[in-house]
Amino acid sequence: MPAVSVQNLRKTYGEDVVALEDISFEIEQGEFVVVLGPSGAGKSTLLRILNGLTTPTEGSVRINGEEVHGRRSDVAMVFQLHYVIESMSAYRNALTGALSRAGLLESMLTWYDEDDKHAALDALDTVGLLSEAEQRTGSMSGGQKQRVGIARALVQNPALLLADEPVASLDPKAATEVMGYMRSAAKERNLTTIASLHQVNIGREFGDRFIGIRDGKVVFDGTEEDLTMEAVDDIYYGEGGDDPTEVLSA
């Protein structure tokens, strides 16, 4: 059974905007998939549907065979903006991942147990921040904050990790570092991961597989080897498009 199965997904906003059109693909357990595409292609809509935050107009998503209807505690999400509580330490932020796992009501009634605390330290170790565990996240760099966000997602112990443009606000060096930590964390845990990126040059060394979306449709599905200059050109510009070197060097 595939870890993720997306069948004939369609999403429209109002009468005129078709954000996704007939999207179908399957993802195997432990695969690290990078979703590429220009701004407005539908990447964010796709991830929000996978996370149960948005309802598709048509089609279905299954995670480990179960159809997604609304938010699931076994799907974790890393967002573009560092979604950390700045007044709290890296450790405290990572611990809050246990709340997402428990569900709101239960999390209001329970304390963190020893397993949660170990999971938080283990996750911070995975993202290279164990020695900064007690540091306030407000005083951390953008890349470090994003790594704390990844640690929190790991503490949630998800079946699926989603990352919506996780490095869009970072400089290339920090972006590459964050992607590297995300990939090694996922590989260490055999965690199925889908990350959307608009920068091809940062994404290409990390994906096992790439899904290219343009105008709400899948226009590419392949490995890094398949992701030639022509393929990139097609994903970003379609036929008769502009110069793809601009995207590659962005």
d(CA 41, CA 22): 13
Should residue 250 be labelled a site residue for ligand ADP when binding is judged by CB under 6 A? no
Should residue 81 be labelled a site residue for ligand ADP when binding is judged by CB under 6 A? no
Backbone angles phi, psi at 15, to 5 degrees: -90, -25
Amino acid identity, position 82: H
**Cβ 76 to ligand ADP, closest distance in Å?**
19
**Cβ 59 to ligand ADP, closest distance in Å?**
15
**Cβ 38 to ligand ADP, closest distance in Å?**
7
Cross-strand bridge partners of residue 209 = 33
Binding mask 198-237 for ligand ADP (x = CB under 6 A): ----------------------------------------
Residue 114: other Cβ atoms inside 10 A: 7
Should residue 127 be labelled a site residue for ligand ADP when binding is judged by CB under 6 A? no
d(CA 147, CA 184): 12
Packed helices 172-189 and 114-126: angle between N→C axes, nearest 10 degrees: 130
Write out the binding residues for ligand ADP, residues 12-71 only, by CB under 6 A.
13, 17, 19, 37, 39-45
Residue in the shown chain whose Cβ atom is closest to ligand ADP: 44
**Cβ 113 to ligand ADP, closest distance in Å?**
37
Give the 3-state secondary structure of residue 223.
coil
Please calculate the CA angle 214-219-225 and round it to the nearest 5 degrees: 120
- Taking the least distance from each CB to ligand ADP, the nearer of 42 and 143 is 42
SS3 content of the chain, % helix, strand, coil (to 5): 40, 25, 35
**Cβ 142 to ligand ADP, closest distance in Å?**
20
d(CA 4, CA 227): 22
- Taking the least distance from each CB to ligand ADP, the nearer of 38 and 149 is 38
Positions in the binding site for ligand ADP (CB under 6 A): 13, 17, 19, 37, 39-45
